[in-house]
Amino acid sequence: MLYDDRRAVSPGIKFNDSELIGVPTIVVVGKRLVEGFIEVKDRRTGERTDIAMADAVSALLAVCEQ
């Protein structure tokens, strides 16, 4: 797990860096958090999925088991 807490760089740079180092799954906690959703992106397939916060733990555990 890698938590990118750099405040001096834009989200785009953070996403690009995660691609460069080969992070397989990216969890984005962004604007949709106020609506109760996070975004999960699979780097291999490019698939993006919005997941309700209530389901986040079980969904992320399922991703880790793949």
List per-residue pLDDT tens for the chain, 66 residues long. Answer: 789 999 999 999 999 999 999 999 999 998 999 999 999 999 889 999 999 999 999 988 888 887
15: which strand partners?
A: none
Which domains can be identified in the chain, with CATH numbers? 11-65 (3.40.50.800)
Round to whole Å and give the CA distance between 14 and 16.
5
Report the distance separating Cα 24 and Cα 55, nearest Å.
20
Q: Name the token pair of 60.
A: 């992320």
C-alpha–C-alpha distance, residues 23 and 26, integer Å: 7
What is the Cα–Cα distance from 11 to 52, expressed in whole angstroms? 21
pTM, entire model = 0.79
